[in-house]
Amino acid sequence: MAENTKAKRGTDILYSLIAEARGYSDVIILGRGDPDFDTPANIIEAGRKTLEERAGEPAPSAGILPLRKAIAERVKRVNGIDVDPETEVVITNGGQEALFLMVIATVGPGDEVIIPEPNYNTYKDAIAFAGGVSVGVSTDPKQAFRVDPERIREAVTPRTKALLLVSPNNPAASVISRDDQMALLRIAEEHDLVIIADDIYDLLTYDGHEHTSPASLPGGKARTLTLNALSKTYAMTGWRAGWIIGPADLMVEVRKHKEGVSGGCSIVTQYAALEALTGPQEAMEEMRSTYVRRRQVVLEILDAMKLPYGEPQGGQFVFVDIATTGMSSLDLSQKILTEQHVLAYPGGAFSESMNNFLRMTFLQPEEKLREGLTKMKRVMDEVLA
Amino acid sequence: MPASTVHAIVERHRGNSMLSAPYLSPAASGPRDLSTDQPIAPIDPAVAAAVTQALLDGQTHYVDVPGIGPLREALVAHLEGLGAKGYAVASTAVTAGIQESRFLSLQVVGEGFDDVAIPAVVHPGARQAIGLRAKTVHTIPVDTVGGMLPTLDGLRQVLDAGCKLVYLESPVRFTGATFDGAAVQQIADMLTAADAYAIWDQGLSPWAGDDYVSLGASAGMAERATLIGEAFPGSGLESLGIGYLATSEARFAGVAKIKQVMAICTSTPSQFAALAASERFGARRSDLRASLASARSSAVRAAGDASLQVVDGDTVHILALGTGNTASASTLARALADGGFGFAAGDAFGAPGFVRLTASSADSLAAALDTLR
């Protein structure tokens, strides 16, 4: 059954599950990382005003300067990274385009990129597009999917050009500690590697775990490109609002790649993003508080069901261990979807070594989370019986 | 001291002349910006209202990778209006603007083609998109008298030399010149005979005459020609970034895959704006064409009075001007810049000694030509 996962590309598996899920009117979506909240009203209002008053304003390739300034302020405040908004910030069509651009701007044919596993499928796709080679480094569920610097070091070869770090991790929800980030940066310095950092869940950490951006560490900024976006924290997935920050010399090339790939981003999205970052933050804070509550609810239910999981240190999901079922994650997620109309993502779609896990989000109201988990357990109990 | 890996990356890209092709940055703002590819028009209040309503109705989440269904249907209807045959909704994608369409067509539809032929005079965005992953580039010479259209003999030569992928603009982005029906058929015949493939940028076609012919209108071209352009230009959407790519079913899977990898989907406000604009496009385009056509005629006369060379073109909004030499062209450019007018320099397109003015209103071209008297 694991062959199914290997034969099909991970993203294709997920999209085919999404397509099937659409056919069920009572489906409970615990799969996709798309917040169930709509974008806050003040941000929509900013979009409306832009449409009515400044839709004709040109959209420069790096993005409008007010937004770049707001991003510079944000990354200083939240991540402790100093960037020049004129030269070290580029606005992108969401975190996804940021990820794509960071990879194609840095990775060349034959270059190896070390990526801790499990990881979001798109990284491997982007690296393949650039002609690079993804080198996966496993993480141990028993160690909360910790990115072990020594395992990373062992994976370095003369062809290694970059280290891709995602923290909090998708799908494992682990957070790289500050000490480990320091150790990883030392490895990058020793071997002169670029760090490609995905910070998209940086504001969503729990139980005392704190996010550390590699670029905030001494010596980190000069070799690190960092992405972030407003999709997850401001419920703006459809708007496509993201950014890349990095050292000025590398950002010249990032901007050139942005020009070649898509040019300037939508002016409506940019002014909406500006409002998101500089306007009232209550809605964002309330969403964040809700995720904290929902996470607790999910963990309590999983504990009561005696379903083990990786400690969700950050992000918007839990990586649930389904090894006791004896089924592959693809087969189990398919069964749960078809029989109970609940969509959770198979861990095997993120990494072949994670076929014993399901990724489930807590991006639904509490009652839906309870209902969805109850239905999942029903299927798993039937399998175990 | 920069890290050597970072330095090597920077140097690798600096040596890539295609990637470093000049980007047509917005040159100015407001009525004196004559630098754009498309006429800049105010957005219809009804379009703005429709977008706001869509957002309030919850259209703030991820949508389908290739675009929302109704917009894709509207785009295919638009293509059929240009005579294109055989392009299905299922193999038409909404993009985040014409540059993304160029990128997807040249690098994704064009994957597997090691060579590509481009006209000597072409939008710099095409060069930039090609520069993202190396291809061998062949140049098709252009008719410097006839609107800088690629010559058919030149096209035949690159095909005879074994190049299987060609990138063509009609209308030409720099001059607005178009291939007539006979030329389009000849191009289609050459592609078929050579078993070659074309990317056809027809984004300026709404501003060409009623006799405009898309390559997609020739029999069999749905399997050989990918059509790209902006979605409903002249509707005030230019800064919202919304375009299209229509291709064959066989080639579409790759497009959808990379679209997902690079963006997940196109911005929902932009898509719903384009959908609302599509419902008003016909009437709006007619009105704008009429006023721009009249303005262009006057501007051509004024250019002649100023001893400026007017390059042949078939769109109502573009006026490509030359002076016969690059030194005078610099003077021309300086005069426009001193007058606060944005314009597109011919150097960026491969046409040194020329400038392009794009009219967005009846007055804007006249004002620029007054500066040049």
pLDDT digits (tens, 9 = 90+) for B182-226: 999 999 999 999 999 999 999 999 999 999 999 999 999 999 999
Asked whether the predicted pLDDT for residue A2 surpasses 80, the reply is no
Quick check: B103 and A260 in contact, CB under 8 A?
yes
CA atoms within 13 A on the CB side of B108: 29
What's the token pair of residue A187?
């490895």
Q: Are B224 and B198 in contact (CB under 8 A)?
A: yes
Q: What is the mean pLDDT of residues B73-96?
A: 96
Q: How many CB atoms lie within 10 A of CB A1?
A: 14
Q: Mean of the pLDDT values across residues B291-320?
A: 91
CB pairs under 8 A between A and B: 220
The three-state secondary structure class of B84 is coil
* DSSP alpha helix (H) spans, A107-146: 121-129
Instruction: Say if B109 is an interface residue toward chain A (CB within 8 Å).
Output: no
- CA B353 to chain A, closest CA, distance in angstroms equals 25
* Residue labelled with tokens 């004024």: B302
Which carries the bigger pLDDT value, residue B27 or residue B146?
Answer: B146
Q: How far is B293 from chain A (nearest CA, A)?
A: 22
d(CA B363, CA B295): 7
Cβ proximity of A90 and A250 under 8 Å: no
Contact indicator for B105, B116 with CB cutoff of 8 Å: no
The type of residue at B62 is Y
- Among A384, A350, A368, A377, CA closest to A17: A350
Mean pLDDT of the region A30-50: 96
A3 by Cβ neighbours in 10 Å (0-12 / 13-18 / 19+) ranks as exposed
Q: Which residue from A136, A137, A133, A135 is spatially nearest to A107, judged by alpha carbons? A: A133
What's the rounded mean pLDDT across residues B258-281? 97
Tell me what the mean pLDDT of segment A333-347 comes to: 96
Tens digit of pLDDT for each residue in B125-145?
A: 999 999 999 899 999 999 988
* Least Cα separation, residue A383 to chain B (angstroms): 33
Across A368-379, average pLDDT: 94
Nearest by CB to B99, which of A237, A253, A263? A263
Whole-angstrom Cα distance, residue A108 to residue B13? 10
Average pLDDT, chain B: 93
Measured between beta carbons, the chain B residues lying within 8 angstroms of A125 are 257, 261
pLDDT for residue A5 is more than 80: no
Q: Which residues of B touch A129 (CB under 8 A)?
A: 133, 258, 261
Six-digit token string for B332: 């021309």
Chain-centre distance for alpha carbon A197? 10
Average per-residue pLDDT in chain A? 95
What distance in Å separates the CA atoms of residue A223 and residue A51, rounded to the nearest whole number? Answer: 38
| pLDDT value at A272 more than 70 | yes
pLDDT at B26 over 70: no
Distance from CA of B167 to the nearest CA of A (A): 16
The answer, yes or no, to whether residue B100 has pLDDT greater than 60, is yes
Chain B contacts of A39, Cβ < 8 Å?
55, 60
- SS3 of residue A357 by DSSP: strand
Q: Is B324 left (phi over 0), alpha (psi -120 to 50) or beta?
A: left
Give the residue-averaged pLDDT of A12-16: 92
Residue A211 has phi, psi (to 5 degrees) of -80, 135
Beta-sheet strands, E only, within A14-159: 28-29, 89-92, 112-116, 133-137
Contacting residues of B for A233, CB less than 8 Å apart: none
Considering chain B, what percentage of its residues have pLDDT values greater than 90? Answer: 79
| A168 vs A376: CA distance, rounded Å | 25
Structural contact between residues A163 and A176, judged by C-beta atoms closer than 8 angstroms: no
Three-state DSSP state, B122: coil
pLDDT of residue B1: 46
Are A351 and A136 in contact by the 8 Å Cβ rule? The answer is yes
* A225: closest chain B residue by CA: B6
Q: Cβ atoms within 10 A of the Cβ of A258, count? A: 29
Beta strands in B77-194 (DSSP E): 92-95, 115-119, 136-140, 142-143, 149-150, 165-169
Say what the pLDDT of residue B3 is. 55
From B6, B13, B96, residue closest to A256, measured CB to CB: B13
- CA-based nearest residue to B43, from B239, B203, B208, B228: B239
Give whole-number Cα distances, A303 to A344, A354, A366, B26, B305, in Å: 18, 21, 16, 57, 85
Distance CA A270, CA A267 (A): 5
Instruction: Quote the CA–CA distance of B220 and B144 in Å, as a whole number.
Output: 30
Contact B60 A48 (CB under 8 A): no
Q: Are A236 and A39 in contact (CB under 8 A)?
A: yes
Structure tokens at B255: 């497009």
What letter represents residue B298's amino acid? S
Q: Do residues A222 and A27 make contact, with C-beta atoms less than 8 angstroms apart?
A: no
> Residue B246's beta-bridge partner residues?
B92, B227
**What integer is the mean pLDDT of A158-171?**
97
**B118 DSSP β-pair partners:** B139
User: What is the rounded distance in angstroms from the CA atom of residue A66 to the CA atom of residue A77?
Assistant: 17
**Would you say A91 and A62 are in contact if contact means Cβ atoms under 8 Å apart?**
yes
Beta partners for residue A196, in sequence order: A164, A225
Among A39, A130, A240, the residue with its CB nearest the CB of B267 is A240
Q: Which H or E run contains B81?
A: helix B69-81
Q: Give the global pTM.
A: 0.96
Q: Please check the confidence at residue B2 and state whether its pLDDT lies above 90.
A: no
Q: Are strands B165-169 and B197-201 parallel, antiparallel or unpaired?
A: parallel
Q: What is the ipTM of this complex?
A: 0.96
Strands A28-29 and A342-343: parallel
Q: B350, B343 in Cβ contact below 8 A?
A: no
From the list B51, B99, B262, which residue is nearest A97 (CB)? B262
- Closest chain A residue to the Cα of B8, Cα to Cα: A106
Helix (H, G, I), strand (E, B), or coil: what is residue A285? helix
Nearest alpha-carbon partner for B278 in B79, B135, B142: B79
Is B165 a residue whose pLDDT tops 70?
yes
Task: Give the percent of chain B with pLDDT over 70.
Answer: 98
What does the pLDDT average to over A206-219? 97
Chain A positions touching B262 (Cβ under 8 A) are: 93, 96-97, 100, 126, 261-262
CB–CB contact A56 B99 (8 Å): no
CB neighbours of B22 closer than 8 A, spacing ≥ 6?
B124, B347, B348
Pairing mode, strands B354-358 and B344-345: antiparallel
Position B234 pLDDT exceeds 70: yes
**What's the rounded mean pLDDT across residues A115-126?**
94
Section A5-9 average pLDDT:
57
The DSSP letter of residue A45 is H
**pLDDT of A170-204, one tens digit each?**
999 999 999 999 999 999 999 999 999 999 999 99
